[in-house]
């Protein structure tokens, strides 16, 4: 089965996934599912523990009543990181000096319930093929831009041909010195890391960094590690960012184990540990700031400094990510 077939074979209803896991199909919420649709790949689901309703991977994807509980969600917003303020034409976000983010697609292979773009209007703000020339003009008009970040959605849902067109168009611009891809595919569909994709990545002029998004060591298996090793052999720098999630990874031992397995077996350096972006529908994952700081302090005690991700919050309108220690506790 190729990666496109594996992707199309994903679970697209909570009931089907829960039945696969020998769990009560009523655990999910149809109302929550209507607010943000459900999708999870089978290989990711196969890492979940059957019969365990609190499995940390299941918790990341299962629609729950908490998502539409007005009390739980009262401090949430539709656009918690200020993406709409940063839109500079179709599919381009410009927040930080010298860097541009490209929303390559609105599609993902997995729908994480805490996603900060779960309410984003991709139909209005997407880097479409038909508008690519006009969108790339922004880069030509801003020669100070040194780095382009491909995000979404997940850019690896694009076909190799479409991804090649986009990467090579960026690679041809002489001011671009770094390219970055943000993608969960090595964890959620490692079959996507094909020889053809690796050849494309190795052919680029500029250095490429791949930022993974692993939240829990249970997400890492032999197929994931093989995909990561293939990327490294192709000259790709690997980093990982996680989101601190209540009931998933809000314990220093879990995060320490994640850093160790990613670095020791996958050659991946920890990058960021994000405090939750307070998006409408995701607030049941929130870990309060004092607890987050205590978890991070314990990580610093357990790990060498280069294996400790930076604990940060993204604040709309700010010129960079903000270390959590510098931010007053939210109400």
Buried b (16+ CB within 10 A) or exposed e, 165-178: ebbeebbebeebee
Work out the number of other CB atoms within 10 angstroms of the CB of residue 20: 14
Q: Give the pLDDT confidence score for residue 89 in this predicted structure.
A: 75
> Long-range contacts for 25-31 (Cβ within 8 Å, ≥24 apart)?
27/53, 27/62, 28/62, 28/63, 28/64, 29/63, 29/64, 29/65, 29/67, 29/68, 30/63, 31/65, 31/67, 31/68
| Of the candidates 242, 243, 210, the residue with the CA atom closest to the CA atom of residue 227 | 210
Mapping DSSP onto H, E and C, the string for 31-82 reads: HHHHHCCCCECHHHHCCCCCCCCCCHHHHHHCCCHHHHCCCCCCCCECCCCC
**pLDDT on residue 122:** 85
**What single DSSP character describes residue 329?**
P
Beta-strand pair 99-103/147-151: parallel
Q: What pLDDT is attached to residue 328?
A: 43
Q: What is the pLDDT of residue 331?
A: 34
**What is the model's pLDDT at position 29?**
96
- What local confidence, expressed as pLDDT, does residue 330 receive? 39
Q: 224 — alpha (psi -120 to 50), left (phi > 0) or beta? A: alpha
Selection from 183, 105, 185, 94 nearest residue 144 by Cα: 94
Token pair recorded at residue 81: 């990181």
Q: Which pLDDT value is given to residue 174?
A: 94
Residue 58 CA: distances (Å) to CA of 27, 79, 163 = 11, 25, 30
- Classified as helix, coil or strand, 12 is coil
**Cα–Cα–Cα angle for 115, 118, 123, rounded to 5 degrees:** 140
The pLDDT of residue 134 is: 74
Q: What is the mean pLDDT of each run of 10 residues along the chain (331 residues)?
A: 95 97 96 96 98 98 96 93 86 91 93 95 77 80 94 95 95 96 98 98 97 98 98 97 98 98 98 97 97 98 97 92 71 34
């Amino acid at each position: 089965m190729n990666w496109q077939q594996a992707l199309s074979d994903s679970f697209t209803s909570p009931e089907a996934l829960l039945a696969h896991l020998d769990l009560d199909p009523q655990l999910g919420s149809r109302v929550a599912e209507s607010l943000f649709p459900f999708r999870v790949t089978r290989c990711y689901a196969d890492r979940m523990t059957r019969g365990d309703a609190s499995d940390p991977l299941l918790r990341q994807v299962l629609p729950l009543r908490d998502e539409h509980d007005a009390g739980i969600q009262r401090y949430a917003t539709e656009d918690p990181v200020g993406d709409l303020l940063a839109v500079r034409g179709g599919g381009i976000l410009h927040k930080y000096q010298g860097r541009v983010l490209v929303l390559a697609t609105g599609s993902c292979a997995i729908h994480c319930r805490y996603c900060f773009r779960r309410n984003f209007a991709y139909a209005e703000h997407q880097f479409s093929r038909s508008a690519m020339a006009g969108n790339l003009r922004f880069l030509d008009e801003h020669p100070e831009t040194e780095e382009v970040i491909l995000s979404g959605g997940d850019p690896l849902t694009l076909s190799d041909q479409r991804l090649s067109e986009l990467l090579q168009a960026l690679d041809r611009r002489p001011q671009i010195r770094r390219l970055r891809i943000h993608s969960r595919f090595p964890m959620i569909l490692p079959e996507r890391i094909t020889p053809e994709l690796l050849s494309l990545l190795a052919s680029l002029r500029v250095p490429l960094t791949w930022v993974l998004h692993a939240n829990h060591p249970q997400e890492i298996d032999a197929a994931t590690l093989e995909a990561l090793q293939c990327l490294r052999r192709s000259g790709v720098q690997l980093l990982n960012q996680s989101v601190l999630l209540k009931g998933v990874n809000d314990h220093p031992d879990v995060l320490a184990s994640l850093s160790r397995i990613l670095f020791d077996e996958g050659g991946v350096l920890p990058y960021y540990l994000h405090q939750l972006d307070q998006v409408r529908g995701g607030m049941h994952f929130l870990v309060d700031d004092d607890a987050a700081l205590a978890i991070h302090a314990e990580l610093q005690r357990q790990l060498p400094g280069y294996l400790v991700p930076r604990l940060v919050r993204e604040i709309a309108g700010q010129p960079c990510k903000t270390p959590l220690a510098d931010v007053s506790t939210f109400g």
